[in-house]
Structure formats: structure tokens, C-alpha cells
């Protein structure tokens, strides 16, 4: 009797062509559509199904945007869970590890832990006022990292305890598979949510860039893909709903997006470089500074986004699957739709933190107040001298008086 592990190891080493194909997925098109399109030939039927579902997804997307940030957050969360599920299922199928029931529980447990950790960090920042009022939440927030880590460790120990003699390798594979999947899907979906909290525009423009790039690369090509996007971001930049950071108002118990639009979203006059003046015929142009950033974002979407798609195609080819799953008829799984988005989410987050947003002032203040008194005093002195030097803070008369006195004293103390 050949050991299961040895067989798998042999399979691993053979080149891909030797691996048997996964059987084609079952057709999950709803009955209604099937009947409505029964007249057409198979090829057009497929095209119509794809088309209808695309429209359905886009409308659903607009609906959720209308419903607000909170719904969007929930949507991102459900997409993340579904993507995770799809990838884990592929792993199980590849390694025939349905017989190891522990692994499904453990994988879901790890998903829960990592989500708990990330949501805890997000919630603490944005719901600060809400949290201050409740005692139990205070405890959870203060020791949040420790609690998350303890939860993760429990999962880790369960994994070690569940190692079964004949299946070590399989189990380690699944462990690694789970972690890499978590790294890809969960961390990036949280970056998306953080981007979302900066203002819906930071969520919508990148996503639209990628979708746009997908569609137009398919149809037309590079340049044409970018122009509609610039107009779209122009439209978004004019409305507070999209531009303002999301905040939780504890009085009304709702999310609000109201603010003074930052500099980025105020119209400015730019002089057109002489080179382009001849081409375009204008001398100056009114633009939002944000539109320059959206240009950078869409460039990234066009150039690097496709690599995410190639990665996913390579992955599907390596494991001999046509689609990640059957969730959406005609389109495959959720992962199929979102594969290009992942790199984009991280890029946007890094871009925002590097070029646009500074650190969050209220968070900084919170941390300052936790310091030891001596540390606070030394920080205070440093800040004060900095502000005086920059002219932001006028030294008080009394302070000036002390300075003068100090300077007039003999130099022994220097």
C-alpha cells in the first residue's frame, strides 16, 4: 500500500502536465436566465450571461455606494470572507484533505483571529468617542494586541496538538496555505477599509481604475482607459459625500461624511506647460489637485494591476483549475473578479500614507497623553522650542523675559 504522502510528493515533483485535471465545474446559471436565452446559440448565450451579470454587479455596487460607508465596509468584509473560502477550498481539493476536518475549523479560526485583530485596531481609532463611554470596551481596546495574540497562539497550539502521524506534510502545507491566503486577502481588505475611511473617493477611484482597465484593456487599450476615469474623479471630487473622511458621530450614532474639503479637493488654477499649450489651446486649466493623484493611481492600475491578474492566471494554471469557484455565473468566482484589485489596495494605502495624509492628530494626542509625566514634559519642551523656532508659536512675554534674564547672566551655566 502506497503511503498517501509519498504519492503526493511524487505528484509534486512531476511536471505540471502529469497532474490530472480537476473536473469542470458545474453550471450554476439560474433557471430563469437559461429559459430566457434558450433560443440563442451557445456562444451568444454565454456573452449575454456575462453581460447581464456584469450589469447586475455594477448596479449592486452603485446601490451600496448610495447606502453609505458602513454598508461598503460590510461588503468588503463579505467579499474577503468569500475569497478566503474559495482559495482554501482549492487548497483542500488539491491536497485531498477533506478527511482532515480539523483543518477547516482551524482555517476559519485563524481567519476570525486576524479579522478580530484588524477590526479592533480600526474600531479603536474611528469609534473613539463611542468606545470611551463603555467600560468593557475600554478593557478590550487597551489590551487588544495581547488578546489577539493570545487567540492566535491558541490556534497555533491547536495546530501543533492536532498533528497526526501519517499526515504531517499535508498539515504543514495547509497551515502555510492558510497563512499565505490570510496575508493576501485579509490584510489587503483591511487596507481597503482604511482607505475607505479616508474618504470614499480613495476607495472608489482605485477600484474603478482597475475595473476600467480590465474592461478597456479588453476592448480598446491603454490610453482610452484613462480619460473617462479622470472625468469620473472630477465628478467625485466635487461632492463632500465622497471626499470627506468617514467619522462616527456619537450623538446621532451614525457615520457622517462632513468636513471642510482639504486642499486636495479645492479647485486650483494650473498653468499648462508651453509644450502642451500648443496642442490643447488653453493657457491655464482648472483642476483639483486630487486629479493629479488620480492620474498616478490609474497609471499604477494600468501598469501593475495586470500583474496581479497574471499571478492569478499562473496560479490557476499551476493547480489546473479554470476558475476559482462558481459563485458568479459566467464569471467564475469572486476571486476572479478581484484578483487585480489586491495589489491596488496596498498601493493606494502606501500612497496615501506616504504622499497625502500625515498621521492622525487625535491618535497622536491620545498617545501623548499615555506617556509618563517626565516623557510628556520633555516632549512638551521639544515641541515648544520647535514651534517657537518656526514662528508658529509666539513666545510669551514672560518667556521672553526669562530668556533675556538667562542671556544676561554670566556664562558659567552654559
Q: Residues 208-237 vs another protein: string with x where CB under 8 A?
A: ------------------------------
Question: Which residues, listed in sequence order, are joined to residue 365 by a DSSP beta bridge?
Answer: none
Choosing from 134, 179, 231, 322, the residue that interacts with another protein (CB under 8 A) is 179
Reported for 40-43, long-range contacts at CB under 8 A and 24+ positions apart, including other chains, are: none
Cβ(274)–Cβ(221) below 8 Å:
no
Choosing from 146, 251, 275, 279, the residue that interacts with another protein (CB under 8 A) is 146
Distance CA 246, CA 258 (A): 8
Q: Which is nearer to another protein, 184 or 229 (CB)?
A: 184
Distance CA 195, CA 173 (A): 33
Q: Which three cell numbers stand for residue 119?
A: 477590526
Q: Residues 323-352 vs another protein: string with x where CB under 8 A?
A: --------------------x--xx--xx-
Q: Residues 15-54 vs another protein: string with x where CB under 8 A?
A: xxx-x-----------------------------------
The minimum distance between CB 343 and another protein, in angstroms, equals: 7
394-413 residues near another protein, rule: CB under 8 A: 396, 398-399, 402-403, 406
76-105 residues near another protein, rule: CB under 8 A: none
Choosing from 98, 143, 222, 235, the residue that interacts with another protein (CB under 8 A) is 143
Distance CA 231, CA 164 (A): 58
- H helices of 68-167, in order, are 69-95, 101-126, 128-133, 135-142, 144-161
Question: Which residues, listed in sequence order, are joined to residue 285 by a DSSP beta bridge?
Answer: 270
Choosing from 180, 280, 285, 296, the residue that interacts with another protein (CB under 8 A) is 180
Choosing from 274, 355, 411, 412, the residue that interacts with another protein (CB under 8 A) is 355
292 is a contact residue toward another protein (CB under 8 A): no
Choosing from 40, 58, 276, 364, the residue that interacts with another protein (CB under 8 A) is 364
Distance CA 135, CA 386 (A): 38
Q: Which DSSP string corresponds to 356-409?
A: I----HHHHHHHHHHS-HHHHHHHHHHHHHHHHHHTSSPPPHHHHHHHHHHHHS
260 is a contact residue toward another protein (CB under 8 A): no
Question: Which residues, listed in sequence order, are joined to residue 103 by a DSSP beta bridge?
Answer: none
Q: Contact region for another protein (CB under 8 A) — 41-49, 208-216, 228-236, 390-398? A: 390-398
Choosing from 221, 268, 384, 409, the residue that interacts with another protein (CB under 8 A) is 384
Q: Which is nearer to another protein, 45 or 349 (CB)?
A: 349
Quick count: other Cβ atoms within 10 Å of Cβ 53?
16
How far is the CA of 388 from the CAs of 311, 394, 396, in angstroms?
53, 6, 10
182-201 residues near another protein, rule: CB under 8 A: 183
The minimum distance between CB 332 and another protein, in angstroms, equals: 18
Q: Which three cell numbers stand for residue 112?
A: 476570525
Q: Contact region for another protein (CB under 8 A) — 129-137, 172-180, 280-288, 327-335? A: 172-180
Choosing from 219, 275, 279, 369, the residue that interacts with another protein (CB under 8 A) is 369
Q: Which three cell numbers stand for residue 398?
A: 514672560
Q: Which is nearer to another protein, 34 or 145 (CB)?
A: 145
Cβ(181)–Cβ(84) below 8 Å:
yes
Category of 25 on φ-ψ map: left (φ > 0), alpha (ψ -120 to 50) or beta: beta
The minimum distance between CB 403 and another protein, in angstroms, equals: 7
Q: Contact region for another protein (CB under 8 A) — 65-73, 190-198, 270-278, 372-380? A: 372-380
139 is a contact residue toward another protein (CB under 8 A): no
Q: Which is nearer to another protein, 43 or 165 (CB)?
A: 165
Distance, C-alpha 242 to centroid of its chain: 17
Amino acid at each position: 500500500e502506497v503511503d498517501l504522502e509519498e504519492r503526493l510528493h511524487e505528484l509534486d515533483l512531476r511536471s505540471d502536465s502529469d497532474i490530472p485535471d480537476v473536473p469542470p465545474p458545474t453550471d450554476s446559471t439560474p433557471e430563469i436566465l437559461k429559459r430566457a436565452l434558450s433560443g440563442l446559440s451557445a456562444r451568444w448565450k454565454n456573452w449575454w450571461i456575462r453581460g447581464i451579470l456584469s450589469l447586475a454587479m455594477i448596479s449592486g455596487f452603485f446601490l451600496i455606494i448610495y447606502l453609505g460607508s458602513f454598508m461598503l465596509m460590510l461588503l468588503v468584509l463579505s467579499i474577503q470572507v468569500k475569497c478566503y473560502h474559495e482559495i482554501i477550498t482549492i487548497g483542500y481539493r488539491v491536497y485531498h484533505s477533506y478527511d482532515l476536518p480539523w483543518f477547516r475549523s482551524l482555517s476559519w479560526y485563524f481567519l476570525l483571529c486576524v479579522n478580530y485583530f484588524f477590526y479592533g485596531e480600526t474600531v479603536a481609532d474611528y469609534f473613539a468617542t463611542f468606545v470611551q463611554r463603555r467600560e468593557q470596551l475600554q478593557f478590550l481596546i487597551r489590551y487588544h494586541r495581547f488578546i489577539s495574540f493570545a487567540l492566535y497562539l491558541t490556534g497555533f497550539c491547536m495546530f501543533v496538538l492536532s498533528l497526526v502521524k501519517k499526515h504531517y506534510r499535508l498539515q504543514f502545507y495547509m497551515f502555510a496555505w492558510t497563512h499565505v491566503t490570510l496575508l493576501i486577502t485579509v490584510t489587503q481588505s483591511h487596507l481597503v477599509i482604511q482607505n475607505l475611511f479616508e474618504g470614499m473617493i480613495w476607495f472608489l477611484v482605485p477600484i474603478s481604475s482597475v475595473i476600467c482597465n480590465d474592461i478597456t484593456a479588453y476592448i480598446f487599450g491603454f490610453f482610452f482607459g484613462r480619460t473617462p476615469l479622470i472625468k469620473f474623479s472630477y465628478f467625485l471630487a466635487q461632492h463632500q459625500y465622497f471626499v470627506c473622511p468617514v467619522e462616527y458621530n456619537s450623538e446621532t450614532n451614525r457615520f457622517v461624511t462632513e468636513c471642510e474639503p482639504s486642499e486636495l479637493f479645492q479647485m486650483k488654477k494650473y498653468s499648462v506647460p508651453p509644450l502642451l499649450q500648443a496642442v490643447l489651446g488653453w493657457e491655464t486649466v482648472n483642476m483639483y489637485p486630487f486629479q493629479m493623484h488620480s492620474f498616478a493611481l490609474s497609471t499604477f492600475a494600468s501598469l501593475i494591476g495586470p500583474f496581479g491578474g497574471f499571478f492569478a492566471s499562473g496560479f490557476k494554471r499551476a493547480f489546473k483549475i479554470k476558475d476559482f469557484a462558481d459563485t458568479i455565473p459566467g464569471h467564475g468566482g469572486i476571486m476572479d473578479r478581484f484578483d487585480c484589485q489586491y495589489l491596488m489596495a496596498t498601493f493606494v494605502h502606501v500612497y496615501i500614507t506616504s504622499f497625502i495624509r500625515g498621521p492622525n492628530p487625535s491618535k497622536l494626542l491620545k498617545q501623548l497623553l499615555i506617556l509618563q509625566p517626565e516623557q510628556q514634559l520633555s516632549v512638551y519642551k521639544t515641541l515648544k522650542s520647535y514651534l517657537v523656532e518656526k514662528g508658529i508659536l509666539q513666545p510669551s512675554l514672560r518667556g521672553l523675559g526669562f530668556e533675556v534674564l538667562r542671556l544676561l547672566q554670566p556664562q558659567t551655566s552654559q
